[in-house]
Amino acid sequence: MKKGKLEFTSHTANLAVMRSFVRKFLSDFPFSERERALIVLGVDEACTNIIRYAYAMRDDQPIRLSMEAPRGCVRMRLRDYGEPIWKSLNELGSTRPKSGGRGIQLMRRAFDKVDYFYKPRGTELVLTKNLD
């Protein structure tokens, strides 16, 4: 099973390195260029949300990206140690988490499964794309 791991800080300049890392990982799989670009864009959007909401634009916080290809799919795991996104939305005046803004809609279009797991400290986002 192919695996990859990248740890970086929440500085937006690191997003270019992350995108390149994801593109290289995906090059061994039979995705079309369009699908590959959409997957990279989806992971970029997830990282941007982490920076904006979990870390409130602080640029020195850790983000961990793990990628794996178990049988029949590619799975990306993003881990942060900041505030859960629903807490940020509450502070912005929302009474409950949104079902999805444009970024979350983009992620749902790029991936077959989008799962948030809230941890005692931070969140793990698991993005799964089937190889079918």
Going along the chain from its start, the domains and CATH numbers come out as: 3-130 (3.30.565.10)
Look at the block and give the residue holding tokens 């948030």: 116
pLDDT at residue 1, rounded to an integer: 86
CA distance 7 to 65: 6
- Residue 109 predicted with pLDDT over 60: yes
Residues forming a β-bridge with 66: 5, 77
pLDDT at residue 95, rounded to an integer: 44
CA distance 104 to 107: 5
CA distance 19 to 4: 13
Report the first-to-last Cα separation within the chain, whole angstroms.
Answer: 17
pLDDT at residue 79, rounded to an integer: 98
CA distance 132 to 126: 19
Structure confidence by residue, pLDDT tens digits, 51-83 = 999 999 999 999 999 999 999 999 999 999 998
Structure tokens given for 78 = 């993003």
> What pLDDT band is residue 94 in, cutting at 50, 70 and 90?
very low
CA distance 27 to 55: 31
